[in-house]
Amino acid sequence: MRKQIAAANWKMNLSYAEGEKLIDELLAAGISLADHQQVVLAVPFPYLTMARDRVAGQKNYSVAAQNCSQHESGAYTGDTSAAMLASIRVPYCVIGHSERREYFHESNEELARKTDRSFAHSITPIFCCGEPLEIREAGTQNDYVAQQLSESLFHLSAEQLTQLVIAYEPIWAIGTGKTASTEQAQEMHAHLRAVLAKQYGAAIADQVPILYGGSVKAGNAAELFASPDVDGGLVGGASLVAADFAAIIRALK
Ligand code: PGA
């Protein structure tokens, strides 16, 4: 079975002590993961080593950075490189979250470079894509996300693609309480997989976990994750409450 992933995206929330407490509460739920299941906590940079150490020894629990630089190193004040993340043994990095695209003007080309920097340091990118409301209303979301994939990912080798995780996050569903319907999510995930299959072949596309993000909650996770092409979720708000995120983990296939 394809990897099924519950990824928490804390964004810019919680103090260090609150972060410690949240992880402890989550682990106290005692959820043991099957071989094909994975929990990934995307925490703020200053908390990465703390989170890494807290989940160490818990099978298939790990951490992610929320971003990395497109550059290898140098005079980029305030930025964090993939090499630095690798040096503190961070295995995943979220790339191209819609908030980065919108507020920091990250382009598809820049995200291609960030993806390359991550792979260069053996960090698994969790590559985000998704359309804004006006694109959904115009009915052109399939082409829009296909272009995000082709411009940022299609230079990758087939081998690299099998290491990638994709998160589909319709922008109109993020933090709005408005979730895509199960049908909308499955339809888009199947489309994304078809786009990958056209470029890399079905056998490769079949291996790529595609997570859904956008107002995933304890109450809707099981229904969303039940769809054949939805391989878990990237969860913002609900990941800040241990009991809610624990329920979301339990909803993984
Ligand atoms: P949300 O955020 O779950 O709060 O909608 C999801 C995300 O932005 O990753």
Q: Domain-by-domain residue ranges, the chain? A: 4-250
| Rounded average pLDDT over 107-111 | 98
Query: Which residue's entry shows tokens 């698994």?
Result: 124
Cα(232) to ligand 1 centroid in Å equals: 13
Cα(237) to ligand 1 centroid in Å equals: 6
| Rounded average pLDDT over 16-22 | 98
d(C-alpha 137, C-alpha 140), whole Å: 8
Q: Whose CA is nearest to atom 2 of ligand 1?
A: 236
Catalytic residue numbers, as ranges: 97, 169
Tens of pLDDT, residue by residue over 173-228, are 988 888 889 999 999 999 999 999 999 999 999 999 999 999 999 999 999 999 99
Most ligand 1 atoms within 8 A of CB, residue of 66, 169, 239 to mutate:
169
| For residue 151, pLDDT beyond 90 | yes
| For residue 56, pLDDT beyond 90 | yes
The correct CATH number of 4-250 out of 3.40.50.300, 3.20.20.70, 1.10.580.10, 3.30.750.80 is 3.20.20.70
Q: Whose CA is nearest to atom 6 of ligand 1?
A: 236
Cα(112) to ligand 1 centroid in Å equals: 22
d(C-alpha 39, C-alpha 186), whole Å: 21
Q: Give the atom of ligand 1 at the shortest distance from the alpha carbon of 167.
A: 9
The answer to pTM > 0.95 is: yes
Residues with CB under 6 A from ligand 1: 9, 169, 174-175, 213-216, 234-238
d(C-alpha 253, C-alpha 251), whole Å: 6
Q: Give the atom of ligand 1 at the shortest distance from the alpha carbon of 174.
A: 5
Q: Whose CA is nearest to atom 9 of ligand 1?
A: 236
Most ligand 1 atoms within 8 A of CB, residue of 5, 9, 217 to mutate:
9
Query: What whole-number percentage of the chain has pLDDT above 70?
Result: 100
Cα(222) to ligand 1 centroid in Å equals: 17
How are beta strands 124-129 and 61-65 bridged, if at all? unpaired
Cα(213) to ligand 1 centroid in Å equals: 6
What are the backbone angles phi and psi of residue 99, rounded to the nearest 5°?
-70, -35
Tens of pLDDT, residue by residue over 235-252, are 999 999 999 999 999 999
Q: What is the structure's pLDDT at 82?
A: 98
Q: Give the atom of ligand 1 at the shortest distance from the alpha carbon of 239.
A: 3
| Confidence tier at 33 by pLDDT (50, 70, 90) | very high
| Rounded average pLDDT over 31-44 | 98
Q: Give the atom of ligand 1 at the shortest distance from the alpha carbon of 173.
A: 5
Helices (H), the chain: 16-28, 48-55, 82-87, 98-103, 108-120, 133-138, 141-153, 158-161, 182-200, 202-205, 221-225, 242-250
Average pLDDT score over the chain: 97
Q: What is the structure's pLDDT at 176?
A: 85
Q: What is the structure's pLDDT at 31?
A: 97
Q: What is the structure's pLDDT at 175?
A: 83
Q: What is the structure's pLDDT at 103?
A: 97
d(C-alpha 230, C-alpha 181), whole Å: 12
